[in-house]
Structure 1
Amino acid sequence: MNKYTIRKMRKSEVEIALNWAAKEGWNPGLNDAQIFYDADPEGFFVGEYEGEIVAVGSAVCYDENYAFCGLYIVAPEHRGKGFGLALTKARLAYCEDRNIGIDGVLENVEVYQSVGYKPYYMNHRFTVLAKRNRAKNPFVREFKESDLQEVLSYDRQCFPAARQHFLRSWIYQENARVLLYFERDLLLGYAVRRKCVEGYKVGPLFADNEEIAKEIFLAIQDDIEGQKIILDVPGNNLPAMNLVKDFAMEEIFATMRMYQRDLPAISHEKIFAITTFELG
């Protein structure tokens, strides 16, 4: 380990992490590198062994109370050497005493527990081929710039910290589609769809109830018929799990949502798809 050093990731190196993520089958979004890094430029780390990058990971601090660690990969030929654990400890130190969340791969749950993480529930990745929705719901419409503040307020119900900077970038990214559900001038749900290496991911999908989530999900796939569409669904929300059954979606991956402290006090019942495994 004496030839192993940990340092902050340079912006140009985020593509390395996303390329590794693609090779792992994580199917990152086409714009993820820029948006992820800009969420917290000080929160991205690399581990180097003899001058070669062998481990990567992020630790995005959203505010003084909450952070999320992700994008954690060790090069396959260097696994089992302690490089990843050292990188994890460096990221934990960066987050200081915040409550820290992760979506940990299931085979490493015990490792995460050894550094203080507690498991709370599983997040499940589901996929299906998009279908055209013939019946248009009058309550579902495209995002407009004047909607931003309402979206930010709604998002805060479902996420443990305000994330204005990240969400602006997420909504306005190239090739994104953002749909809102308004009824009686009240925002009752929204979703963001982004283009990925393969197909499209919808995240977040936040809604007041299952029926609203269903209407948003129907509408957000009607222009990409036949393309792969992906949802990352929290297992602690039974209506969300019912939703993927209604659409006959196939589960292809799962993680364990873990926190250093307690489960955040947010509206879990409104989370039908998380934003990303990497940033929470």
Structure 2
Amino acid sequence: MPSSLYVPPPGLTIRPATREEFATAVDWAAAEGWNPGLDDLDAFFAADPRGFWMAWKDGAPVSCISVVRVSADFGFLGFYIARPEARGAGLGLAIWEAGMHYLGERTVGLDGVPAQQENYRKSGFEWVGRNVRFTGTPAALPPAPAGIEIRAAEPGDLPAILALDRACYGAPRDRFAAGWILPAPGVRRRSLVAIRDGGLAGVGTIRDCRAGFKIGPLFAPDPEAARGLFAALCALAPPGAAVSLDVPEANAPAVAMAEAAGLVPAFETARMYRGEAPDLPVGWTWGVTTFELG
């Protein structure tokens, strides 16, 4: 694995950004129509404080990328953006090369927008599935059936939640997942769990975004628990608010659930990996946590 720092082209400064600097990249993501959450950055930086990179030319930021070292064997790439006025000059490619250098020989996952998927293939990434963002004002949904309790997530649930997250994600990301599911006071994310027979049957989180709300993750091995959680999470949004759910297309019951709620496709990505892709139980993922970190 490379250990030395990547040396950028002359005239370009590339380095890990601070949380405050990377807030600019979140604004860029919003301008691209990605609709980031309002309180995502602290949880993202907890995953890897050095994993969020920016490039500056003549003192002005021109491109960004997130390259989170999830573990010694796995990383995840996102936030790959070059400012429109900086495109075509190799500034996006420069930060890509710096980010990939930082990730080294790890298996790397990403959720790629259609315009970039061919470039990712040229860089050794293989397509494994399509994610579809379903968005809209959800219709009234039936509650969880008898035998499934839906309630707020609590610290005592965390060991089971982290085990489920590792199974659905394919790598341990406990620091990120713990802060995402059980955020600090004032953070605009709320998480619910489904309990059946005294054990965890599913977990889901809803968060405030630039426009409306997103649900993610929505992880549940139990389909009835998944639907009950989805209904309860949608009910946490104000009446008439738009709710989005990023659904793996291969999970047909999840697609049907989103469609039955009146949500419609609005955006898509491809899950791709460089290296050996993890063998994931796709039927357990009813909503991807976040396209930026997987």
TM-score tier after normalising by the smaller chain length: over 0.9
| Structure 2 match to 1:214 | 227
2:41 pairs with 1:27: no
5+ residue gaps, structure 2, are: 1-8
Q: How does 1:116-265 map to 2 (within 5 A)?
A: 116-131=124-139, 135=143, 137=145, 138-173=148-183, 174-224=187-237, 225-265=239-279
Correspondence 1:46 to 2:54: yes
Shift of the alpha carbon at 1:9? 1.0
Aligned length: 280
Report the alpha carbon displacement of residue 31 of structure 1 after superposing the two structures with TM: 0.7
Query: Which residue is 1:15 aligned to?
Result: 23
Provide the secondary structure at the position in 2 that maps to 1:41: coil
Evaluate the alpha carbon distance shift between residue 237 and residue 72 of structure 1 in structure 2; reply closer, same or farther with a 3 A threshold: same
The CA distance in 2 between the partners of 1:175 and 1:50, in whole Å, is 36
Question: Judging changes above 3 Å, is the alpha-carbon distance between structure 1 residues 239 and 45 closer, same or farther for their aligned structure 2 residues?
Answer: same
The residue aligned with 2:6 is none
Residue aligned with 1:221, SS: helix
Check conservation: 1:200, 1:229, Cα contact below 8 A: yes
Q: For residue 10 of structure 2, what is the aligned residue in structure 1?
A: 2
| TM-superposed deviation, 1:111 | 0.9
How big is the shift at 1:263? 2.4
Q: Equivalent residue of 1:157, what SS?
A: helix
Deviations 1:63-96 (A, max 9, x none): 1111100011110111122111121111111111
Alpha-carbon contact 2:54-2:61 (below 8 Å) kept = yes
> Please, which runs of 5 or more residues in structure 1 have no aligned partner?
none
3-state SS of paired residue (2:235): coil
Q: Distance in 2 between matches of 1:132 and 1:176?
A: 22
Deviation, structure 1 residue 229: 0.7
Once the two structures are superposed, what CA deviation does each residue of 1:21-46 show, in whole Å capped at 9, x if it has no partner?
11111111111122212211111111
Shift of 1:133: 5.1
* 1:214 aligned counterpart, secondary structure: helix
- 8 Å Cα contact 2:139/2:262 also seen in 1: no
CA contact (8 A) 1:131 1:222 kept: no
Listed one character per residue, the Cα deviations across residues 36-67 of structure 1 (whole Å, up to 9, x for unaligned) are 12211111111122221100111011111111
**Percent identity over paired residues:** 36
Which deviates more, 148-157 or 54-63?
Answer: 148-157
Structure 1 counterpart of 2:287, from 264, 273, 280: 273
**What value does the CA root-mean-square deviation take over the aligned residues?**
1.6
3-state SS of paired residue (2:236): coil
Work out whether residues 140 and 261 of structure 2, in 8 Å CA contact, stay in contact via their aligned partners in 1: no
**Is 1:69 aligned with 2:77?**
yes
Shift of residue 11, structure 1, vs aligned partner? 2.2
Structure-1 separation of matches of 2:247 and 2:143 = 25
For 2:18 and 2:259, locate their aligned partners in 1 and report how far apart those are by CA, in whole Å.
42
Question: How far apart are residue 172 of structure 1 and its match?
Answer: 2.7
Q: In structure 1, what residue type is equivalent to 2:59?
A: G
Q: What residue number does 1:36 align with?
A: 44
TM-score when normalising by structure 2: 0.90
Shift of 1:175: 2.4
